[in-house]
Amino acid sequence: MTDWEIREHPDFFKDLDKLGTKDLEIFYKKKNKIKENPERQEHLSGGENCYRKPITDNLRLIYFIEGKTIWLLTIGKHKEAYKDYLKRLYSLRTEK
């Protein structure tokens, strides 16, 4: 079994601040499931090794896998999450 490390994009915490208590509880439960098997979620087009996980009907978590690291890119309403994830993915890749 692979030991995955979870890291967050610097702007990810701003996204979490916008969520209510119930959504945060759901997120943390699903975060643990993602860590168990991150590659089983739906792959996103437009971003290599990027995946999406529905949190609620309207909330999406988008993350990127790099080696043994899961980068949490964005969480938010459906349209906003998809709009922000490519910018954040690009910013991660240019930092290195």
Question: How close are the terminal C-alpha atoms of the chain, in Å?
Answer: 28
pLDDT tens track for 6-51: 999 999 999 999 999 999 999 999 999 999 888 877 788 777 889 9
Is 84 strand, coil or helix? helix
> Model's pTM, two decimal places?
0.88
Q: How far apart are CA 40 and CA 95, in angstroms?
A: 27
Domains and CATH numbers, the chain: 5-95 (3.30.2310.20)
Given a cut of 70, whether residue 96 has pLDDT beyond it is no
CB 52 within 8 A of CB 59: no
pLDDT of residue 89 exceeding 70, the answer is: yes
